[in-house]
Amino acid sequence: VIYRFDGATLTTYQTVPTDGAVLATYFVIGVERYLAVAQLHGDRTSFGYRVQSQVYKWNGSKFNFFQALNTTGANDVEHFTIDNQQFLAFANYQDASSYSIHSHVYKWKSGQFVLFQSIPSLGAISVAHIQVVESHFLAFANVYSGSTTNIDSKIYRWSGAQFEIFQSIPTFGG
């Protein structure tokens, strides 16, 4: 559900169809406005985790479906820009049999998002883009390996061409 503030309260503005949506992020590319929705699972009857997260595009009065992106139990989505290049990163939590899966980074190319890089993760629950001066980082909070929550979360640094492991940080549940 998308809400609008009418000056006094939040009122329902639009409903976008989702199954198991956990987080959405709004972003702008050029003059176009978008909404990316991270989907943890599919319909409740199959409770499948290999689902597509959605990107919606604003048409001036509402968000319309724009693109589906392959994710696996997506728990978070982050939009960021590096050197005028647009990216969406998804923290993938699990599939039906394992928490050891890859999280995905998509890059804007020719008017759509394309898979740019797969990054190993263990029950990733969150992803954050961090910029320190001219350096860009992606931090993935890994929360569960399938047997323990005492695992390392990972920070990746932008090399100019891709994200490379920069540091492992011991965490307990992300």
Q: pLDDT tens across 68-80, in order?
A: 999 999 999 999 9
Residue positions counted in the chain: 174
CB-count burial class (<10 Å; 0-12, 13-18, 19+) for 101: buried
Q: Any idea which residue has 């972003």 for tokens? A: 27
Give the pLDDT band of residue 10 (cuts 50, 70, 90).
Answer: very high
pTM of the model: 0.93
86, 106 contact by CB (below 8 A): no
Give the pLDDT band of residue 99 (cuts 50, 70, 90).
Answer: very high
Give the pLDDT band of residue 47 (cuts 50, 70, 90).
Answer: low
